[in-house]
């Protein structure tokens, strides 16, 4: 168990912003959900940020302690079809966020 926790954190530390990863999120004691996500880097609080294409979460953050305590398994394996679809969704999301900023009142 300790070895897997280390390797998940090591995988994250080696990932660059914009790289893809697979995250095995625990749903219950016996069920997990395998999510392909784009790693968006760390925020100012040191949390790891991800984008999953607007599936279950859209964007989500996890702390190092959360990953270790929940035994979340993270790998840098890549499914090319999912990765392409996810990249397209991220671009749509970024464009939508840009449009929101344009529409704001600048007073």
Task: State pTM to two decimals.
Answer: 0.67
- For the domain made up of 2-100, give the CATH fold: SH3 type barrels. (2.30.30)
pLDDT for residue 1: 41
Locate the domains of the chain by residue range.
2-100
| 58-78 per-position pLDDT tens digit | 788 999 999 998 889 998 876
DSSP per position, 78-89: --HHHHHHHHHH
Residue 85's pLDDT band (boundaries 50, 70, 90)? Answer: confident
Phi, psi for residue 12 in degrees, rounded to 5? -65, -40
Tell me how long the chain is: 107
């Amino acid at each position: 168990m300790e070895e897997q926790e280390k390797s998940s954190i090591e995988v994250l530390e080696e990932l660059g912003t914009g790289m893809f990863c697979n995250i095995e999120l625990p749903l219950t004691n016996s069920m997990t959900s395998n999510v392909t996500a784009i790693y968006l880097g760390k925020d100012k609080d040191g949390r790891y940020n991800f984008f999953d294409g607007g599936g279950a979460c859209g964007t989500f953050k996890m702390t190092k302690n959360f990953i270790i305590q929940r035994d979340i398994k993270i790998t840098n394996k890549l499914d090319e079809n999912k990765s392409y679809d996810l990249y397209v969704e991220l671009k749509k999301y970024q464009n939508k966020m840009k449009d929101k900023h344009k529409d704001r009142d600048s007073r």
